[in-house]
Amino acid sequence: MSSIIVVSAPFHGHVTSLLTVAESFVNRGDDVRFITGARFADRVRATGATYVPLPAAADFDDRSILESFPERARLKGITAIAFDVEHVIARPAKAQYETLMAALAADPADVVLSEPLFLGAAFLLAHPRSARPAVIFCSISALPVESRDTAPFGMGLPPARILNRPRNIALAALNRRVLRRPYRVIDDLHGEVHGTDMPGTFVDWGRRADAIVQFTVPSFEYPRSDAPAELHFVGPLSAAGSQAPLPPWWADLDGSRPVIHVTQGTFANTDYAQAIAPTLLALAGDDVLVVVTTGGRPLDTLPPLPHNARAATYLPYDELLPRTAVYVTNGGYGGVQYALRYGVPIVATGGKEDKPEVGARVAWSGVGRRIRSERPTPRALRRNILAVLNQPRYRQASRRVAADMSAAPGFAGVAEIVDRLAANPTRSAPENTVTPR
């Protein structure tokens, strides 16, 4: 039995992704603690893990960022990005680190599993391996590790066909200028703890971890000639889908019409103009069945449904996706991976956070199409949905990725890495190239 600490910044998608990991280790018999925000306490305890709260300095509700930071409302573009990195990601880092160190002092652990935005785990890596547990960087979205072969994370740009590396060098320099203030904040906080700047960049600290676990397969991720030696693709974890009961209209999914499923997930689902509303308008006159899930929001919040649409708050995905011809999403990583497990091709609209990166990989991998707009027009959606529906190459690519996912180790791969690192408590971290700022 290993002692494991799972850590996550209090972002809904990040915590939710790691709850499955925590529960799987609990079920295996490991001792698991989970450090995150207070609003996730009950969900953590439901996995069987011990909940450890973040202090107020590192806890916030990501549903109401503007209430926590009202000055954010007047910012746009790159200034808004820099503000978010500084206040939501960088400034909590020291408090995260102190909470993690207190948990380790109270009861040492063998391994720390961290998602990318919990920079307290990056601060832990400044200690020699003999004085700390192994740290595993759990990439719960598109892989953020920087590379000479990729544009900086967040730009949503796939590798260029010509002059790719010169382009990436220029974009990295631009990115450094945009983020110079939050980088300074991170370095100052790291200096308060360790007396030095933090090596590398805040998105690239996984290169210094003892292992990186990526919850997809290589066919959905950009190749990197300088990838870390300890980068492991394990595929999406086989989390149980929704156990929601079948709705009264379920018999309408009889195969007589292609099913187009549209969802905005369970978090970024308040603005239906991102995907649901324009999809309903786009396909109202087509011989398809549009199936909507609201992610828990009441059905009466939806716009009027055309005759060929059906809706539910939740649906059992393991029943729905095998019947689905096209999956329409605003770019949530978990939903995209779930659809790909069933070989369903995708149309991804634009969005914030990591969504541009997810959409870019949908297009790059060939499993679907990407619409860059966060509020696409019905015309654009109809054109792209019908292309994905009627052109076999998208489903063929999705089925290839599904086959790769079926062969991936899943949780067994994560457990093997944890067990190997726990069995070598003094092993040095791998020597990986750190991207300079």
Instruction: Using alpha carbons, select from 393, 400, 60 the residue that is nearest to residue 220.
Output: 400
| Pairwise CA distance, residues 30 & 4, whole Å | 7
Please state the pTM of the whole predicted model. 0.91
Give the model confidence (pLDDT) of 165-188 as tens digits: 999 999 999 988 989 999 999 999
What φ, ψ does residue 295 adopt, rounded to 5°?
A: 70, 30
Give the model confidence (pLDDT) of 286-328 as tens digits: 999 999 999 888 999 999 999 999 999 999 999 999 999 999 9
| Pairwise CA distance, residues 231 & 206, whole Å | 9
Q: What is the mean pLDDT of residues 362-390?
A: 96
Indicate if the pLDDT at residue 433 is higher than 60: no
According to the model, what pLDDT value does residue 65 have? 64
Indicate if the pLDDT at residue 241 is higher than 70: no
According to the model, what pLDDT value does residue 429 have? 45
What are the tokens at 383? 């054109």
DSSP alpha helix (H) spans, 148-292: 164-178, 180-194, 276-282
| Pairwise CA distance, residues 85 & 182, whole Å | 6
Q: Are 140 and 18 in contact (CB under 8 A)?
A: yes
Q: What is the mean pLDDT of residues 416-436?
A: 68
Q: What is the mean pLDDT of residues 78-85?
A: 78
Instruction: Using alpha carbons, select from 140, 110, 121, 105 the residue that is nearest to residue 35.
Output: 121
Can you point out the beta strands (E) in 216-322? 231-233, 259-263, 289-293, 309-312
Indicate if the pLDDT at residue 427 is higher than 90: no
What are the tokens at 89? 């990601």
Indicate if the pLDDT at residue 399 is higher than 70: yes
Give the model confidence (pLDDT) of 341-358 as tens digits: 999 999 999 877 788 999
First to last CA, the chain: 40
According to the model, what pLDDT value does residue 430 have? 44
Q: Are 139 and 116 in contact (CB under 8 A)?
A: yes
DSSP alpha helix (H) spans, 151-285: 164-178, 180-194, 276-282
| Pairwise CA distance, residues 333 & 142, whole Å | 7
Indicate if the pLDDT at residue 437 is higher than 80: no
Rg (CA), the chain: 22
| Pairwise CA distance, residues 137 & 121, whole Å | 9
